[in-house]
Structure 1
Amino acid sequence: MTSPFQHGGKCRIGILGAAGIAKKNARAIILGGCSLAAVASRSLEKSQSWCEEVLPPLLGSESDRVTRYGSYDELLEDASVDAVYVPLPTSLHLEWVLKCIEKGKHVLLEKPCALQLSDLETMASAAQTAGLVLMDGVMFMHHDRLVDVDRTLRGAYSQFGHVTRVTTGFSFSGGKEFFASNIRASKSGDPLGCLGDLGWYCIRIGCFAFGFDRWPHSVRCRCGAQTADGVPLDASAEVFWEREGEEPGSAVTSPSSGSAAQTGGGGVPQPPLCLSFHCSFLHPFRQWVEICGSSGKTLTIPDFVISKSSSPGAAVYSLKTHGTSGPLVDYDCRVVESEETVQAGFCVQEAKMFERFASLIAHKMAFGGGGWGPSPVHSHSHVATVSQGNAGPSLSSGLPSSSPHASATLGASSTGVGGVTPGGLPTSQMQVAMGAPDFWPRVSLLTQAIVDRCAESAKKGGVTVPLGPRASWMDARKGEKEE
């Protein structure tokens, strides 16, 4: 398809707010095959200073072509800007996202998306009506590793079984300067604190594991620490899902948790389907996730948020097969287990995020109007380069054919969703889903709904809070056109 973008066929993106994370994403915009068109801050001096610091290493002599604005409104009036990246404090999201949409700009929004679910529903509805893309800035969703993990969990030849439990933690130690000045610990900037900033990722990986089409029934959350005005700094939470496709059995209540376990075949209690996570600004840097399967397997990612990969083959996850279940015979008995470390390939996840964002915008432009349009399969055709002629990493790298896991997954997901990746692997259902414009606001809304209930539970001292009936936007595809 011919590119619908003007200006050399690239999506032109403006940055609304000279935040720290925007420095990383300015590079990602360029590596993702987009054009950095403009930067706006609250003053022209700040905008110019930010550009002078960030742009020369990325664009060299072409840095001057990036327009500097001294107000957010000026950038939104720029007709040459196709889309806006918004790294503003959460308290400003509703106002400025709606202004972006009013001016016809597609939006990539930093998380947490909103102060509360109703605000995000307003943004998503406005974007849908205007036929614009709204995506949150969760980078790990765009790493090739996640697609490979999806094949391992749900591929046609998967032996993982049903996901039964997800345990995850994301934390860093903020330090004196962080707590004194960072908006993430500020009531006026990001009142959701660590729940919105770090818990967002934990909740997202849990929803991925259990399935984005599934609605949790309840949560409970306790804050281990908070600021004097109630901003969470340390929190632990549990999110529970109902079992699907199983006959309800007799309830067995666990005295330690108060939760009910279903009784499966042979009268054996089944574990509650649970995401358990810890997020904190007070602990050392950690970002791991463990996913348990009903077949006795576990899948662990040691760096699921910010991949440590800096060379091909460095992004990994481990798949462990545990021995036959049952009680230990004596204290000297050791359960036999085997572990495989799987290489998922090199990927610049933040660049892939902007590449996918531009692909979705091109899709919207092609179909036009409100609604979502048919779902495209995301293309990995772009090969990025950086300034001064230095070759950048290929964004099309899939799982290498030499990977020990490739032969096991080859053909695993050929279930009618169509397509083959450049690396030779079948296009997974996850890849197809992520290529649909309506996927992104829906997963953001689901994440926000859980964050909101966690915050509510924490304020009530950790009581169990129901999520209520399944939200209509989980299933609605209003105005969708058929191919």
Structure 2
Amino acid sequence: MAENPIRFGIIGCAEIARKVARAITLAPNSTLSAIGSRSIDKARRFAAQNGFPDSVKIYGSYDAVLDDPSVDAVYVPLPTSLHVRWAVSAAERKKHVLLEKPTALNVADLDLILDACRSSGVQFMDGTMWMHHPRTQMMKEALSDTTRFGQLRSIHSTSTYAAAKEFLENDIRVKPDMDALGALGDAGWYCIRAILWATDYQLPKIVAAFPAVDFNQRGVILSCGSSLRWEDNKVATFHCSFLAHESMDLNLYGNVGSLRLWDFIIPYEETSAFFSLTSGADFSELHLGWTNKPEEVRVASPLPQEALMVQEFARLVMSIRDFRCGPDPEWPQISRRTQLVLDAVKKSIELGFKPVEL
């Protein structure tokens, strides 16, 4: 562990918090300092189940974590409807904010969070883990190779899983008062982020949801998709769902090559990942096969992607604490653009699938 690591607090004992707590312990510049729940008993059970050391403070309220002077940064895995209240509260108490996705119910709410972070001079980052895997940077380099990939022309992404009956009836992601964005916020966030990442975060000109949406009885989206179009006629589509078998596909097509992967959100393996790159392919004589086959590009990862996310976040916090640097504005901007597109998809659905201009 690095000397004087960033001390994290976690507010909320969601299932995803188990994964991030492990990531905090694995990241060499971070340490877990406190865990808080609305119930002290729940916080104690969470600590015991995850083998937290005795040095981790256990609190029966979120405020207690935010008031702890030994906490530098907080991870917030609470339901989306609670993000504004607790992320703003954390920022106002000078805690750096690592916020689970989706960041907010709409961009107006996210702006309240980002304004609070900016005013307090604290770092903001959302919890989109796959962006921190070394494979992601390797793919970006492949996309920028005009000889092998060319100009990006189209993108397709999916994020789906067939949720069990218990999930569909009781999970917070299907409750309108907790996570009203449903599958669009939970799974669609990944698709939208991947599309924006591929386009260097250029916002599309037109967003149009597909006229095929599944809602539950409470009006929460269980499955949906959308098309996106840019001014240069680049296009993208995505599909997200709680009702279809596991998929995490990302397909990128240039005018010279194509790049594909099937596990972009959670790699098949923790220590390495791969993507498929095809360049200059054509059909052989009589169209009996292909002239060029896909190349598998494999990338090793020194740490799990969630630990790399924590490490990068802690590095930014250290630069603020130790060198008086300002917060990195790139991560808040990326989150905001993702939220803007998500809002546009939701608006298109509400308008009867009419195109929405950004």
TM bucket (normalised to shorter chain) is over 0.9
Which of 304, 326, 329 in structure 2 is aligned with 1:348?
A: 304
1:279-320 per-residue CA deviation (whole Å, 9 max, x = no partner) reads 00000111011100122x110011000011244xx4100001
The alignment status of 1:219 with 2:219, answered yes or no, reads no
Post-superposition offset of 1:366: 3.5
Query: SS of the residue aligned with 2:253?
Result: strand
Asked whether the 8 Å contact 2:276–2:295 carries over to 1, the reply is yes
Asked whether the 8 Å contact 2:148–2:280 carries over to 1, the reply is no
The alignment status of 1:275 with 2:265, answered yes or no, reads no
Post-superposition offset of 1:211: 0.9
Asked whether the 8 Å contact 2:162–2:242 carries over to 1, the reply is yes
Query: SS of the residue aligned with 1:55?
Result: coil
Query: SS of the residue aligned with 2:47?
Result: helix
The alignment status of 1:284 with 2:242, answered yes or no, reads no
The alignment status of 1:337 with 2:292, answered yes or no, reads yes
Asked whether the 8 Å contact 2:148–2:279 carries over to 1, the reply is no
Post-superposition offset of 1:239: 1.4
Post-superposition offset of 1:158: 4.9
- Structure 2, unaligned runs of 5 or more: none
Query: Aligned residue for 2:262?
Result: 302
User: CA-atom RMSD, angstroms?
Assistant: 1.9
> For the residues of structure 2 that align with 1:193 and 1:165, how far apart are their CA atoms?
26
> For the residues of structure 2 that align with 1:23 and 1:83, how far apart are their CA atoms?
17
The list of structure 1 runs, each at least 4 consecutive aligned residues, that deviate by more than 4 angstroms after superposition, is: 332-335
> For the residues of structure 2 that align with 1:334 and 1:74, how far apart are their CA atoms?
64
> For the residues of structure 1 that align with 2:317 and 2:147, how far apart are their CA atoms?
33
More displaced, 234-243 or 140-149? 234-243
Query: Structure 2 length normalisation: TM-score?
Result: 0.94
> For the residues of structure 2 that align with 1:462 and 1:333, how far apart are their CA atoms?
41
Which of 39, 49, 54 in structure 1 is aligned with 2:50?
A: 54
Asked whether the 8 Å contact 2:149–2:279 carries over to 1, the reply is no
> For the residues of structure 2 that align with 1:125 and 1:283, how far apart are their CA atoms?
38
| Alpha carbons of structure 1 residues 232 and 329: separation in structure 2 relative to 1, 3 Å | farther
The alignment status of 1:128 with 2:128, answered yes or no, reads no
> For the residues of structure 2 that align with 1:339 and 1:74, how far apart are their CA atoms?
53
More displaced, 40-49 or 228-237? 228-237
Query: Aligned residue for 2:338?
Result: 447
Give the partner amino acid of 1:171.
T
Which of 87, 101, 109 in structure 1 is aligned with 2:91?
A: 101
Query: SS of the residue aligned with 1:290?
Result: strand
> For the residues of structure 2 that align with 1:158 and 1:307, how far apart are their CA atoms?
28
Query: SS of the residue aligned with 2:244?
Result: strand
Matches within 5 A, 1:8-407: 8-33=3-28, 34-56=30-52, 63-155=53-145, 158-212=147-201, 214-222=202-210, 223-243=212-232, 272-295=233-256, 297-311=257-271, 314-324=272-282, 336-346=291-301, 347-368=303-324, 372=327
**Count, aligned residues:** 354
Give the partner amino acid of 1:354.
V
> For the residues of structure 2 that align with 1:102 and 1:237, how far apart are their CA atoms?
37
Post-superposition offset of 1:453: 0.6
Post-superposition offset of 1:323: 3.4
> For the residues of structure 1 that align with 2:343 and 2:285, how far apart are their CA atoms?
45
Post-superposition offset of 1:229: 2.5
User: Percentage identity across aligned positions?
Assistant: 36
Give the partner amino acid of 2:268.
K
1:332-366 per-residue CA deviation (whole Å, 9 max, x = no partner) reads 66553321011111341000000001001011224
1:400-424 per-residue CA deviation (whole Å, 9 max, x = no partner) reads xxxxxxxxxxxxxxxxxxxxxxxxx
- Structure 1, unaligned runs of 5 or more: 57-62, 244-271, 373-436, 468-483
Post-superposition offset of 1:322: 4.7
1:448-483 per-residue CA deviation (whole Å, 9 max, x = no partner) reads 00000101111222111111xxxxxxxxxxxxxxxx
Asked whether the 8 Å contact 2:282–2:292 carries over to 1, the reply is no
1:146-194 per-residue CA deviation (whole Å, 9 max, x = no partner) reads 0111111115x75311111111111001111101211111101110111
Which structure has the greater CA radius of gyration? 1
Give the partner amino acid of 1:170.
S
Post-superposition offset of 1:215: 2.0
Post-superposition offset of 1:19: 0.5
